[in-house]
Amino acid sequence: MTEYVQKLRAAATLSLPGQEPVEGWFALAPQAEFRLGPETLLERLNTRDRVIPFIRSEDEATWLVARLGLEWVKAAADLRPALVCPPNYLVTREEWVRVRFQSGVEVEGLLQMELPETLNRATDFLNGPEDFFPLLGRDGIVLVNKHRVLETRLYDRSPRPPSESPRSRPAA
What are 1-58's pLDDT values in tens digits? 667 668 899 999 999 999 999 999 999 999 888 888 999 999 999 999 999 999 999 9
pLDDT tens track for 53-90: 999 999 999 999 999 999 999 999 999 989 999 988 78
pLDDT of residue 170: 43
Pairing of strands 72-75, 140-145: antiparallel
- Distance CA(151)–CA(107), nearest Å, equals 11
Segment (H or E) for 95 = strand 93-101
First vs last Cα of the chain: how many Å apart? 69
The amino acid at residue 14 is: L
Question: Residue 172: which residues within 8 A CB-CB, separation 6 or more?
Answer: none
pTM of the model: 0.85
CA dist 93 and 122 (Å) reads 9
Partners of residue 74 on adjacent β-strands: 13, 142
DSSP-based three-state secondary structure for 166? helix
Burial profile 151-160: b = 16 or more Cβ within 10 angstroms, e = fewer: ebeeeeeeee
